């Protein structure tokens, strides 16, 4: 859809780029001409992904836990030394575990908030101070999750993702003077490596869950990546502070009682 030189000369950082959605985003940026850096915690898996991605363009990687500011600062040093600039930051790293709220311990709550909200903020602050603010130019895309009506079964991530969405609105205003655009992409349920980590009982409900989505399917990693590349591109140069749902209209809670589906069967 985009010209192959859309991101020529640009340097893009994708957190959690070793797997699933992040891998697809990294691949698409490479195919569209960007130089790409990926990071995640597990260095062995990161290296394997980096070797695969290198087939599509110039790719660098470094292990980094986004919850550790010192890891992020070391990433900044690497990017400074190698590229001396950063144009695009995609905060994709994250995750949680399913649990009813009454069973979430302090440690579990803090782990999820720390991974999805604090880690995202630290990454944004460090990259902005090192690159975007001095450059007076930068684009940030935060991958959150569709939490429009809350997230029963994952209260911690609902709170963390809502926090990122609100942070995005704030920074879109505070940093407009620096020509920094910042937006969120909010995926519904996406067929990716991430889903394999859920217990079998939850995977067993996926067939029914799919039927409840207005577009009648889960998303693909490409659906999310397409939204990210759009928001990062000059095509979106007047868009900042938004959350773009990539969810087949799941957030609208369409036809909860199945009424329209029943009507469709005889009208």
Ligand X SMILES: NC(=O)C1=CN([C@@H]2O[C@H](COP(=O)(O)OP(=O)(O)OC[C@H]3O[C@@H](n4cnc5c(N)ncnc54)[C@H](OP(=O)(O)O)[C@@H]3O)[C@@H](O)[C@H]2O)C=CC1
Ligand Y SMILES: CCCCC/C=C/C(=O)SCCNC(=O)CCNC(=O)[C@H](O)C(C)(C)COP(=O)(O)OP(=O)(O)OC[C@H]1O[C@@H](n2cnc3c(N)ncnc32)[C@H](O)[C@@H]1OP(=O)(O)O
95 part of the interface to ligand X, by CB under 6 A: yes
Choose, by CB under 6 A, the member of 45, 80, 149, 211 that binds ligand X: 45
Tell me the residue number closest to ligand Y, measured at CB. 95
Q: How far is the CB of 251 from ligand X (least distance, A)?
A: 12
**CA 12, 15, 17, 20 torsion-angle sign:** negative
Rounded Cα distance, 58 and 45, in Å: 18
Within 10 Å of residue 46's Cβ, how many Cβ atoms?
21
202 part of the interface to ligand Y, by CB under 6 A: yes
Q: Per-residue string for binding with ligand Y, 126-165, x by CB under 6 A?
A: -------------------x--------------------
The footprint of ligand X on this chain (CB under 6 A) covers a number of residues equal to 31
Rounded Cα distance, 6 and 241, in Å: 22
Straight-line distance from the first to the last Cα atom of the chain, in angstroms, rounded to the nearest whole number: 38
Rounded Cα distance, 104 and 60, in Å: 37
Rounded Cα distance, 27 and 136, in Å: 27
Q: Per-residue string for binding with ligand X, 102-131, x by CB under 6 A?
A: -------------x---x------------
Q: Which residues bind ligand X (CB under 6 A)?
A: 15-16, 18-22, 40-42, 45-46, 64-67, 92-95, 115, 119, 143, 145, 187, 189-190, 192-195
């Amino acid at each position: 859809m985009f010209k192959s030189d859309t991101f020529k000369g640009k340097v893009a950082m994708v957190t959690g780029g070793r797997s699933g959605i992040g891998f697809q985003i990294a691949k698409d940026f490479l195919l569209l001409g960007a130089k790409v850096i990926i990071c995640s915690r597990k260095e062995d898996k990161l290296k394997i992904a980096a070797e695969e991605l290198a087939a599509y363009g110039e790719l660098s990687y470094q292990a980094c836990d986004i919850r550790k500011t010192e890891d992020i600062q070391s990433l900044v040093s690497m990017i400074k030394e190698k590229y001396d600039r950063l144009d695009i930051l995609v905060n994709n790293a994250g995750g949680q575990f399913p649990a009813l709220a009454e069973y979430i311990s302090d440690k579990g709550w803090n782990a999820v908030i720390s991974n999805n909200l604090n880690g995202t903020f630290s990454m944004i602050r460090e990259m902005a101070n090192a690159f975007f603010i001095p450059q007076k130019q930068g684009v940030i895309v935060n991958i959150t999750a569709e939490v429009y009506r809350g997230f029963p079964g994952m209260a911690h991530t609902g709170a963390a993702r809502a926090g990122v969405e609100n942070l995005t609105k704030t920074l879109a205003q505070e940093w407009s003077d620096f020509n920094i655009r910042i937006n969120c992409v909010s995926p519904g349920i996406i067929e990716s490596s991430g889903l394999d980590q859920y217990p079998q009982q939850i995977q067993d409900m996926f067939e029914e869950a799919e039927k409840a989505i207005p577009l009648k399917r889960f998303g693909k990693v490409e659906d999310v990546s397409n939204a990210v590349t759009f928001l990062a591109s000059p095509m979106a140069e007047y868009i900042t502070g938004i959350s773009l749902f990539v969810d087949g209209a799941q957030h609208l809670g369409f036809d909860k009682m199945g009424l329209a589906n029943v009507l469709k069967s005889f009208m």
